[in-house]
Structure 1
Amino acid sequence: MAGLESGNLTPEEYDAYVEKMRQDEYPMIADALYLDHAGTTVYSKRLMERFHRDMMANLLGNPHSASQSSQHATQLIDSVRSKLLHLCNADPAYFDVVFTANATAAIKLVMEAFREQSEGFWYGYHVDSHTSLVGAREVAIAHHCFKSDAEVEAWVDAAHPSRPAGRSQLFAFPAQSNMNGRRLPLYWSMRMRRAFQRTYTLLDAASYASTSPLDLRDVDASPDFTALSLYKIFGFPDLGALIVRKAAAHVFDKRKYFGGGTVDMVLCSKEQWHVKKSGSLHERLEDGTLPVHSILALNAAIDTHAELFGTLDRVSQHTAALAKRLYDGLTALKHGSGRDVCTIYTNASSLYGDSRNQGPIVAFNLRDSNGDWVSNTEIEKLASIKNIHLRTGGVCNPGGIAQWLHLAPWEMRENFSAGQRCGGEYDILNGKPAGVVRLSLGAMSTTSDVKRFVAFLEEFFVNKNCQSQAPVAGCEVSEKSEQRFHIESLTVYPIKSCAGWQISHGTTWEVRDEGLVWDREWCIVHQTTVKALSQKQHPRMALIRPSLDFRQGVLRIHAPGSADTVIVPLSQDPGVFDKPDFAQRDATVCGDRIAAQVYASQSVARFLTEAVGVPCTLARFPVGTASDSAGRHSKAHLKQGGEAIGVPRPLLLSNESPILTISRSSLNRLNEQIKARGGKAAHPSVFRANIVLAESPLLPPGLEQPFAEDHWQSMRIGGERGPVLDFLGGCRRCQMVCIDQVSGEKNQEPFVTLAKTRRAEGKVLFGVHTALRVERAGGAMIAARQSVQTS
């Protein structure tokens, strides 16, 4: 397109060009919204076509050889190395580039060089640093975290209390905070070089360079070491790079390790001796055979990126304009009460639209109309259903998260003790969010993306009523519920995340402390990681149908499209097997480590692998282990009567509690709301409940009590002498309820309607966690059609 390379297009023209290109050449993302490194996570059709042509046209050998194909590979690598330096305006007379696996590997290469210094080294890093920069402190003799730009400036201007003497110093900082896009002063490298001797700078440019040109033409002002993530710029291939200022290359002279291709001679028999290569720096640091085909792909990526988007200056202008629109759109969102919907984490000096001090990243959290924080996990669940790709959590920026969310060290330790983990669902603790929502715009982002995301927040998270947001819709609960409710059905799920097995009416069933007998005693685990698989990632698991055969004493497992049936004994006694057919192994279930019996049968593994589509096999967590001190227990956040449950309940493989109960009246009300919006009614199976309660069919219309379970404390089953089950709080729902349990297909309902009608304290709730009352020892018997008295 004329004007693309020169940057003469207006922002509107450029935006229209990208939008058309997406529609014409990238149909696979036309209906998706990529808001985290948007321009770098899409494998473009044109790039892959070019890479395919290059692969078919070139025979590349190991560059450490003298064959024609090897020499061709060497020439290609040299050419791409030169092209990458040119992209960064780095003169090869003063800079060298070392290919690495990623930006973290580039940082680690520098850290290893300083670790080998005979007197050790002092390490300073900025609070906005990525986790990979923070980690380098662990090998330093001493280290210091600079809490602000002003502290860095003061350290350069005068003797700082933590400033050492007599050893090398390394100061690391990001060009752009990967949390909120704030850009840090790049002149620090020059100032430190002039102020100190033996002080070097390491610049993390991974986030910055994804949408902005890295200009290293001024050698004196450039950092000594610059880490790049090439996949964040181009999306493909997965490569990183370290650009080294040659004046600082001597730091690597004391590096002890050597790999293939980095030495001229090695003796390892009678004498232990080696000579490193004396040529360029990259020859000494690129251990082993380089990923030649990835570098070939990088060559195609550089050319394709320039062809489609022009210069990185052009991309920078484009993304800066979009970020300004996004920021303005988010700040304009208001609840009917006038409260802001978004709390955006940005400095007053970081102005969106000005690429000198602000990159195209927006980090924020949401508040409801009461001013309470909205769970980022709930935002991510809805975004996933709406085909919106974003990132939530700590985003690998511990200092930024602590600083912007005002989390003191003791609070973060307390959060960890309460169960917060990276990627976990505990994201609001002690009244504060533990992470953020991050939107990163890229070369392929457009104005329509911004509009669509703002509309998404407006649809699901803006309360336009003037009054404060009420709790989830409930009802007036009748004081007398005798004979009003009964058990409509009982279901167990012998294999976690697979289809349920409904207990026939009239059959009494044992319920124990850990739940209904035979419920979630087995799971399917990945063969390598031994991690329990879930429908959320593998919807085909819904089609795997286990059945209990008590006459034969076996569990039968069926899968669609397979004539085979897997049969495993119900007995825990290995003696019933023809040979030892399982082994004790540590497995991971919902983040918990358990000692599981993993089946070693190849026929079982083949059957399940074919059914699920990933290498997997069957594992068992038998009754008896749940009550062990090392077993699993109900989650600490569950409540009973508004208070934390006093005695954790033992679990087998269920997520949070021993039993899940739903109400047919509540489901009917939900389905009315879904159908009113033109959606398809939800089948009870999608909620994977053990107990479905129903009201008397003799009740006159309009007298049902949907969502009465929100207010119940317990239920007694089968009359005055029947067992009592306690309610432990609402069940927090995720997008797994959108998987059709018959077809395995994903839909948007019922989660979309639940998100609009059943949100409380930032969580989407439906059904209640349940457990046998602790005082009752030895279990109890229940059956479908029994009466239920609630209280």
Structure 2
Amino acid sequence: MGRVGTSYPENIDQIREQEYPNLRDTTYLDHAGTTIYAKSLIDQFARDMAANLFGNPHSRSPSSELSTRRVDRVRLRVLQFFKANPEDFDVIFVANATAGIKMVMDAFIQCDKNTTLPHTQDSPRPFWYGYHRDSHTSLVGIREIASQGSRCFEADQEVEDWISGKLATELDHPGSESQLGLFAYPAQSNMNGRRLPLDWSGRLRESSLPGHGNIYTLLDAAAYVTTAQLDLSNSKTAPDFTVLSLYKIFGFPDLGVLIVRKCSGHILERRRYFGGGTVDMVTCIKDKWHAKKAERLHEKMEDGTLPFHHIVAVDSALDVHERLYGSMDRISRHTCSLAKQLYDGLSSLRHANGKAVCVIYKDPASQFGNSKTQAPTIAFNVQNSRGGWVGKTDFERLADLHGIQLRTGGVCNPGGIASSLNLAGWELRRNFMEGTRCGNDLDVLGGKPTGVVRVSLGAMTNFHDIHHFLQFVSATFVDERHRFSELVTPGLSLEPPALQQVDSLRIAPIVGCAEWEIPAETSWEVRSTGLAWDREWCLVSEMTGAPLTTREHPAMKRLKSSVDIQEGVLKVRAQLEEVGETELTVSLWDIPSPTCEVKANQPSEDDTELPVPTPYTSKTISDFFTAAIGAPCTLARFPADSFPQAAEGSE
């Protein structure tokens, strides 16, 4: 096999045959999710477990002492793997990268840099949070508890301008030096594989601008470390906190790590909670006192019994990884070369009429084949020869039939998906209302895809995988049957036939109220029930909950309603005697929830069941319509995919 991986990647086919028998009948292209574990890793770990007795590290028996020694050994080896000096860094074992993110977040909730003791739970000091657009969902979620405010940096240049002082944030003002800040970003987008600048952490730490002194950095390296060397040899420029998952590198074990600069460890130490193994003494009868462990940071943070068997497995994982592949740099060169071939192949695919088959979501600054800017990950969608989208679900099902495993959907990267697919916030909320959920098969809404197809390569990917996938896409999706010239009969005009033109479209968002003409040249969705937003609301009595009719309340006809999709609101205008014309806006995405159990619909005289509308509980809404109609009433919304024409047609 060669000494210390020196034969890799030339011997990749031999490695696959001996180490990855589970890949013989499949083309696995989801290494960004997790890479594949080697057979010898499992064999070596099994021998280790069979030959040794590992006890709970919290005891003092020989088996427990063995576990402690092995855990300490692995902790040191992990630091060495990432070129981190143990004098400057500590490793905290966590379940996965997200658990490491949450550990950092929990610490920031309760403390700031200048305090010597944690703040009380009732009055935590606020902190500011900044995150990059390409962040994984787990990083985005921190914004929900950043009471000092948060900012999503939509482009690399915004971060550059912020670091250099050209762009201000909520924390960049006089008097903010006592406040904490946390800036988080991924080393690599888990959607399209573009790699972000790794020098932001050091440059931000060196900045002397107001507000920057108390900002710490959190790097999500989970996607990056799958095929690249994370180098933490310079502690002055390294992130304060780095999270990653070891299964993305080795395939096994399922374990994450949080790597902490010791100079920044005091942030974590301020947390109030303590668990078993993190304290030296606790009193709980009458007195409430405890003494935390004071020596090493990881001892204060690793609550309860460590997953010591999984940690012991890392020893085998590191041994096998080094023997097979030599170094992460070798893996990086190999996978980047294959990714360039795959990218060039997908880019070159054309239908017979010349249209591109694949729309690839690549950052302009990234370059396939350049490991500094681009990982071996490609996100794309497929179009047919007429420009229509091939659903990601259909693509994945067909890939499965051809023995190809990959990932489709939103891939836990909301910012990357929104920017790549050109989806505005209102479109995403509309898609949610239409039923789009993580992992479902609603593939195209409003003429745009709701997600992507993602293929990602790993250390054991070979040329056959690339060739097989390109063959599959070419044979399945390339239309070679017709060219434009073949569709034209000689002597006939190439001018398209005259089409019937629709002069105008009108909808009545609120049943019984005035119709509204959709602006010219505006695209409008047609649902299975008709035009979108037509007759989706009605007015109901606050006394009985029954829908109002224009026969009993003719003032309804004077209410003017319109839909502004970009702002995401329903606008209603009314002429009130005391104040004149006034306008009410209601969010299109605010779906009222029933406040009580609704009885089943009673059949009407024509034996058809009518949908039951759900009223809004807002006093502002009810006051507006009560004043406009002259009777106690409020707005109500019909369930999705229902048509309430019968409610007004009964007049």
| TM above 0.5 | yes
Contact kept in structure 2, 1:393 and 1:436, CA below 8 Å = yes
1:122 is aligned to 2:141:
no
Which of 60, 82, 91 is the equivalent residue of 1:97?
91
Cα deviation code 1:50-98 (max 9, x no counterpart): 1110110111111111111111100000000000000000000000000
What letter is aligned with 2:157?
A
> Are the aligned partners of 1:129 and 1:174 in contact in 2 as well (CA < 8 Å)?
yes
Q: Give yes or no for contact 1:39–1:234 (8 Å, CA) kept in 2.
A: no
The answer to whether the Cα contact below 8 Å between 2:32 and 2:190 also exists between their aligned partners in 1 is no
Q: Does 1:200 align with 2:194?
A: no
Partner amino acid for 2:139? L
Could you tell me the percent identity over the aligned residues?
Answer: 53
Q: CA deviation at 1:372?
A: 1.1
CA RMSD of aligned residues (A): 2.3
Per-residue deviation, 1:3: 6.3
Structure 2: which 5+ runs fail to align? Answer: 112-123, 487-602, 613-639, 647-651
Moved more, 53-62 or 93-102: 53-62
Letter in 2 for 1:163: E
Task: Quickly say closer, same or farther: Cα 1:265–1:342, change in 2 above 3 A.
Answer: same
Shift, 1:251, TM fit: 0.5
- Which residue is 1:379 aligned to? 395
1:39–1:443 CA contact under 8 A, matched in 2 = no
Q: Which runs of 5+ in 1 are unaligned?
A: 471-623, 631-645, 650-773, 775-791
Paired position in structure 2 for 1:618: none
- Find out whether 1:295 has 2:311 as its counterpart: yes
| Superimposed CA distance per residue, residues 347-391 of structure 1 (whole angstroms, 9 cap, x where no aligned partner) | 222110110111111111111000111100000111112221100
Partner in structure 2 of residue 134 of structure 1: 140
1: distance between equivalents of 2:198 and 2:81? 18
**What is the rounded CA distance, in whole Å, between the counterparts of 2:42 and 2:376 in structure 1?**
26
How far apart are the structure 1 equivalents of 2:38 and 2:75? 23
SS in 2 for 1:112: helix
Match of 1:706 in 2: none
Q: Does 1:439 align with 2:455?
A: yes
Q: Deviations over 1:511-534 (max 9, x none)?
A: xxxxxxxxxxxxxxxxxxxxxxxx
Counterpart contact for 1:201–1:225, Cα < 8 Å: yes
1:42 aligns with 2:56: no
Q: Which residue is equivalent to 2:63?
A: 69
Deviation by residue 1:126-165 (Cα, 9 ceiling, x = unmatched): 0000000000111111110000000001111116332312
For 1:176, what is the secondary structure of its paired residue? coil
In the comparison of the two structures, how many residue pairs are matched?
A: 476
Partner of residue 413, structure 1: 429
Q: 1:160 aligns with which of 164, 167, 177?
A: 167
1:356 counterpart letter in structure 2: K
Distance 1:121 1:272 in 2: 29
2:199 equivalent among 184, 187, 190:
187
Alignment partner of 1:170 is 2:182:
yes
Residue pair 1:180, 1:438 contacting (<8 A) in 2 also: yes
Structure 2 SS opposite 1:52? helix
Q: CA deviation at 1:648?
A: 5.7
Aligned 8 A contact 2:32 2:248 in 1: no
2:158 pairs with 151, 170, 175, which one? Answer: 151
In structure 1, the partner of 2:73 is 79
Q: Is the 8 A contact 1:181 1:361 kept in 2?
A: yes
Does residue 280 in structure 1 map to residue 296 in structure 2?
Answer: yes
Correspondence for 2:342: 326
Given that residues 392 and 452 in structure 2 are in contact (C-alpha distance below 8 angstroms), is that contact kept between their aligned partners in structure 1? yes
Q: Which has the higher strand share?
A: 1
One-letter code aligned to 2:339: A
1:261-272 residue pairs with structure 2 within 5 A?
261-272=277-288
Rounded Cα–Cα distance in structure 1 between residues aligned with 2:241 and 2:2? 37
Trace 1:519-534 onto structure 2 (pairs within 5 A): none
Q: In the alignment, residue 134 of structure 2 is paired with which amino acid? A: D
SS of equivalent to 1:290: coil
Deviation readout 1:175-218 (Å, 9 max, x if unpaired): 00000011000000011001121111000000001111110001
Offset of residue 174 of structure 1:
0.2
Question: Does the Cα contact within 8 Å between 1:40 and 1:442 map onto a contact in 2?
Answer: no
What is the TM-score with the length of structure 1 in the denominator?
Answer: 0.58
Secondary structure of the residue aligned to 2:260 is strand
Any idea what SS the aligned residue of 1:420 has? coil
Query: How far apart, CA to CA, are the structure 2 residues paired with 1:278 and 1:292?
Result: 22
Cα deviation, 1:428-469, whole Å, max 9, x if unaligned, reads: 10000011111110011011100100100011111112347x
Q: In 2, Cα distance between the equivalents of 1:234 and 1:15?
A: 17
Equivalent AA in structure 2 for residue 168 of structure 1: L
1:657-678 per-residue CA deviation (whole Å, 9 max, x = no partner) reads xxxxxxxxxxxxxxxxxxxxxx
- Partners of 1:358 and 1:3 in 2: CA distance: 29
Q: Determine the C-alpha separation between the residues in 2 that align with 1:47 and 1:361.
A: 25
1:169 maps to a residue whose letter is: G
1:272 & 1:628 partners in 2: Cα distance? Answer: 61
Change (3 A) 1:35 1:647: closer
Which amino acid in the other structure matches residue 161 of structure 1? A
1:665-705, Cα deviation, whole Å (9 max, x unpaired) = xxxxxxxxxxxxxxxxxxxxxxxxxxxxxxxxxxxxxxxxx
**1:726-737 equivalent positions in 2, closer than 5 A:** none
Alpha-carbon separation, structure 2, partners of 1:628 and 1:238: 52
Do 1:380 and 1:390's aligned partners in 2 also have CA atoms closer than 8 Å?
Answer: yes
Give the partner amino acid of 1:32: T
Q: Using the alignment, how far apart are the partners of 1:193 and 1:629 within structure 2?
A: 59
Structure 1 residue 354 and structure 2 residue 370: aligned?
yes
Aligned partners of 1:647 and 1:415: how far apart in 2?
Answer: 14
What is the CA deviation profile of residues 723-781 of structure 1, one whole-angstrom value per residue up to 9, with x for unaligned ones?
A: xxxxxxxxxxxxxxxxxxxxxxxxxxxxxxxxxxxxxxxxxxxxxxxxxxx9xxxxxxx
Summarize the alignment of residues 637-716 of structure 1 with structure 2, pairs less than 5 Å apart.
none
Task: Give the match for residue 250 of structure 1.
Answer: 266
In 2, distance between residues paired with 1:20 and 1:46? 14
1:113 & 1:267 partners in 2: Cα distance? 23
> What are the superposed Cα offsets for residues 452-500 of structure 1, whole Å, 9 maximum, x if unpaired?
00100011111112347x9xxxxxxxxxxxxxxxxxxxxxxxxxxxxxx
Match of 1:53 in 2: 47
Could you tell me how far apart the structure 2 residues matched to 1:372 and 1:240 are? 41
Which residues in structure 2 correspond to 1:442-453 (within 5 Å)? 442-453=458-469
Partner Cα separation in structure 2 for residue 5 and residue 198 of structure 1: 44
CA-CA distance at 1:24 after TM superposition? 3.4
Query: Does the C-alpha gap of structure 1 residues 256 and 379 become closer, same or farther in structure 2, counting only changes over 3 Å?
Result: same
AA aligned to 1:150 is Q
Equivalent residue, structure 2, for 1:388: 404
- Secondary structure class of the residue paired with 1:396: coil
Q: Deviation digits for residues 25-72 of structure 1, max 9, x if unmatched? A: 422211211101079432321111111101101111111111111111
> C-alpha displacement at 1:4, in angstroms?
5.3
Aligned partners of 2:84 and 2:233 also within 8 Å: yes
Give the 3 Å change call, closer, same or farther, for CA 320–446 of structure 1 in structure 2.
same
In the other structure, the counterpart of 1:340 is 356
Contact 2:357-2:478 within 8 A present in 1 as well: yes
TM-score (norm 2): 0.71
Amino acid of the residue matched to residue 243 of structure 1? I
SS of corresponding position for 1:79: helix
**Alignment partner of 1:221: what SS?**
coil
8 Å contact from structure 1 (residues 405, 433) kept in 2 = yes
- 1:318 Cα deviation (Å)? 0.8
Corresponding residue for residue 539 of structure 1: none
Selected match of 2:472 from 456, 468, 492: 456
Checking the alignment, whether the CA contact within 8 Å between 1:230 and 1:240 is kept in structure 2 is: yes
Inter-partner Cα distance in structure 2 for 1:25 and 1:265: 48
Distance (Å, rounded) in 1 between the aligned partners of 2:401 and 2:20: 21
Rounded to whole Å, the distance in 1 between the matches of 2:170 and 2:329 is 38
Structure 1 102/629 Cα, relative in aligned 2: closer, same or farther at 3 Å? farther
